Structure 1
Amino acid sequence: MITWSNRLLLMTTLLGGSNSIIYAQTTKPLITVERLTPEFNKLVGKNVNARIIADGFAWCEGPLWIEGHKMLLFSDVKKNIIYKWTKEKGKEVYLNPAGYTGKVPRGGELGSNGLGLNIKGQLVICQDGDRVVSVMNAPLQKPQAKFIKIAANYKGKKFDSPNDLAFLSNGDIYFTDPPYGLEKNVDDPLKEAPYQGVYKIAKDGKITLLTNTLTRPNGIAFFPGGKTVLIANSDPAKPYWYAYDLDKNGQFTHGRIFYSAKAASKTAEGMPDGLKIDKQGNVITSGPGGIWIFNKTGKLLGKIKVNDLASNLSLSADEKTMYVTSNHRVLMINLR
């Protein structure tokens, strides 16, 4: 059964050939599953199903499943709110304000974006409006709009709008910094750096610029072992996923294109955006048309096409459930 908005509708599932389509009583199915390889079937079973668990947002992003508390956190970037979803209570306001704490009214993507947990179990927040990466200075179960800035500038120049986070087991945090949080994007007069960067926050607080060559760095995640990182580039001119190896100092080396979405971006909405990498090294990422799944070598295994723009995703601890932020709503997809 799939829920469309808050209504229960009769579903019809067609399973045949290499593809399966899950239909709802609407003009579009919630998801369409495109099976390209046998490996895909091990990750996405034939009984895959989806439902909307929360909606009514302006633009949701940065989902984070926290297994210990059985809760999903996610950002409404335009409303400056972090929401919480639980099976028992549904959606609730978790933190407000979440990304912009200034007093001067402003528009655009001013709220929080990417969310994550550091090695101490604290909530780390990409704060678009404040242009910083911060740690919430409060317990997860008693959130407060109190923040400790852990990255505010690089060599005196403010970041544009920190977007997404990846964590190494040694405590280092990597983050991307595209211009989307600036009200006028790359043409905003408040933009200080002449490039878009990917940075590292070392456990001692030192900030290092890792690359300034990506035009729109967005989603970021490490492959198992922490020796290689994957970054989504959300630029229509260069809609690629890039891979970098890490040297002994945790800096980037051997940069290359992991996969190109150039052809697909001409026929489907969306860009390479948020991503996760599972325990086996499979890449699950939002891209043109929905969710793309690759193996660790960059072979496209299949897609879960979503009938609205998919921005990001999070996986449950057992990796059998995926939570997808999709425009004004959040989907829960039971993979197997």
Structure 2
Amino acid sequence: MRPFFKPRLILPLTALLASCTVPTDPAPAYSSIGRLTAFDPSFHDIVAPDARIERLAEGFTWAEGPAWIPDGDRDSGYLLFTDVPENKLYRWSEADGLSVFLDPSGYGGPPDDTLREAGANGLHPEPAGTVLLADSGSRLVARLDPATKQKTPLATHFEDKRFNSPNDLVRRSDGTVFFTDPPYGLKDLDDSPAKELDFNGVYRLDPDGTVHLLDDGLTFPNGIALSPDERTLYVSNSDPDRPLWMAYTLDAEGTVQDGRVFADASDLVGDDSPGLPDGMAVAADGTLFATGPGGVLVLAPDGRRLGRIETGTAVANCAFGDDGRTLYMTSNDFIARVRVQAGGLNFPR
């Protein structure tokens, strides 16, 4: 029996009303943005129809290169990401919020008028706690120690010529690194007088430091990712005239056996769909979360277009974090996240 029904017990009306009030959930900590668009019914098996896209922090010029850094276990950690034009690397966590982690993130020398973007770009966490870094401004691939914030160059040249501006990278479990090298960091891009290579390449960096060219035929190779079995390498081409994703079959050494067009976004390019094929994240079941026109395209392992996560502006890159079921997105001048039902792969391996 409820207390206010006991004999001779009289409660004030305000207390009676308070006891009948239904508890309400606290207001969300972050604003909800964007929308989810399904192209196939199976999309909602991967991203729930009521999943909230949350804006976490803003005020950047062009956010890029997200990487989740575990802190003790998979359920805790922090996000590192870059602002390439501003030459800064940021840290964000639920507990601590936003802070500048490294400034400069890339080129730190005297003024260089050949550079269009001096900062670092793509990041990839390693099992030892270090982070691989595509240092666009310094025109090299490096390893960053988060504890000391020191960078160690791993690759600077191919056939005695400087790279253009390494953009994104991914690590195989045996330590082999694959990376892209478009001209985005250079003023005038392909016409830059500082460009030493006459192509924009996709490369393999072996653990012994040797660099191998895998493909020199893409106009603007950009995002890069590996399939769960590490036998397929995905590379995006951020060319509005040829906006697509390539899939390369790899042998045990990481040599390309064949290449094919995995998916094409030509029909999506337009003013109402900002963005081009860029960074990617791969789920444990092989589902590809690929940034492209209009947001993050969710693609089945066979390349079928399932749906799109839309933040309302261009999304440069994405990475799984938290317990592996949160997709973090660097979206133009802000970062965002959404819970997904597919488990992520890009924890250190």
The answer to whether the superposition gives a TM-score over 0.5 is yes
* Match of residue 116 from structure 1: 124
Deviation per CA, 1:101-142: give whole Å up to 9, x if none. 211254521101000123433111111111001112x3x2x3
Match of 2:320 in 1: 315
The alignment partner of 2:266 has SS state of coil
Residues 182-210 of structure 1 show CA distances to partners (whole Å, capped at 9, x for unaligned) of 12211111000000001111011111111
Corresponding residue number in structure 2 for 1:95: 102
CA drift at 1:252? 1.2
Unaligned runs of 5+ residues in structure 2 are 1-26, 342-349
Contact 2:236 2:246 (8 Å CA) reproduced = yes
Runs (5+) with no aligned partner, structure 1: 9-23, 25-29
Q: Distance in 1 between matches of 2:263 and 2:97?
A: 36
C-alpha distance in 1 between matches for 2:42 and 2:322:
20
Whether the 8 Å CA contact 1:200–1:209 is kept in 2: the answer is: yes
What amino acid does structure 2 have at the position aligned with 1:64? A
Is the Cα contact below 8 Å between 2:236 and 2:277 reproduced in 1? Answer: yes
Corresponding position of 2:264 = 260
The one-letter code sitting in structure 1 at the alignment partner of 2:188 is K
Question: Is 1:276 aligned to 2:281, yes or no?
Answer: yes
- Secondary structure at 1:39 match in 2: helix
Name whichever structure is richer in strand by fraction. 1
Pair 317,224 (structure 1): closer, same or farther in 2 beyond 3 Å: farther
Instruction: Give the match for residue 79 of structure 2.
Output: 72
For the pair 1:83 / 2:90, whether they are aligned, the reply is yes
* CA distance in 2: counterparts of 1:122 and 1:313, whole angstroms: 19
Residue 186 of structure 2 aligns with which residue?
A: 182
Equivalent residue letter for 2:299: F
The alignment status of 1:62 with 2:65, answered yes or no, reads: yes
Q: Name which one, 1 or 2, has greater alpha-carbon Rg.
A: 2
Are 2:239 and 2:276, in contact at CA under 8 Å, matched by a contact in 1? yes
Identify which of 301, 307, 313 aligns with 1:302. Answer: 307
In structure 2, distance between residues paired with 1:169 and 1:189: 37
CA contact (8 A) 1:51 1:331 kept: yes
1:246-297 deviations in whole A, cap 9, x for unaligned? 0232111221100110111135221100001110000001100001001111
Q: Secondary structure at the match of 2:45?
A: helix
Letter of the 2:142 partner, please give it: S
Question: Matched residues in 2 for 1:276 and 1:173: separation?
Answer: 16
1:96 offset after TM fit, Å?
1.1
Match in the other structure for 1:128: 136
Over residues 37-91 of structure 1, what are the superposed CA-to-partner deviations in whole Å (9 max), with x where a residue is unaligned?
Answer: 2321111112200221111111110001112351000001011110000111211
Preserved contact between residue 226 and residue 282 of structure 2 (Cα < 8 Å)? yes
Deviating more after overlay: 50-59 vs 278-287: 50-59
Residue 329 (str. 1) matches residue 334 (str. 2): yes
* Corresponding residue to 1:235 among 236, 239, 242: 239
2:234 is paired with a residue whose SS is strand
Q: Give the Cα separation in 1 of the matches to 2:48 and 2:318.
A: 18
Partners of 2:39 and 2:29 in 1: CA distance: 27
- Shift, 1:311, TM fit: 0.5
CA distance in 2, matches of 1:261, 1:3: 34
- One-letter amino acid of the structure 2 residue matched with residue 91 of structure 1: L
Q: Once structures 1 and 2 are overlaid, which stretch shifts more, 118-127 or 306-315? A: 118-127
Report the 3-state secondary structure (helix = DSSP H, G, I; strand = E; otherwise coil) of the residue aligned with 2:302.
coil
After superposition, the CA RMSD in angstroms is: 1.7
Tell me, yes or no, if the aligned pair for 2:275 and 2:313 is still in contact at 8 Å. no
Contact conserved, 2:68 with 2:125, CA < 8 A, in 1? Answer: no
One-letter amino acid matched to 1:86: S
**Count of residues in correspondence between the two structures:** 309
Residues in 1 aligned to 2:247 and 2:274: alpha-carbon distance in whole angstroms: 23
> Separation in 1 of the partners of 2:212 and 2:324?
32
TM-score, normalised by the number of residues in structure 1? 0.88
Shift of 1:147: 1.7
Moved over 6 A (4+): 1-4
Q: Distance in 1 between matches of 2:28 and 2:66?
A: 20
TM-score (normalizing by structure 2) = 0.85
**What amino acid maps onto 1:251 in structure 2?**
T
In 1, are the aligned partners of 2:77 and 2:322 still within 8 Å (CA)?
Answer: no
**What is aligned with 1:12?**
none
Contact 1:94 1:143 in 2 (8 A): no
Partner of 2:13 in structure 1? none
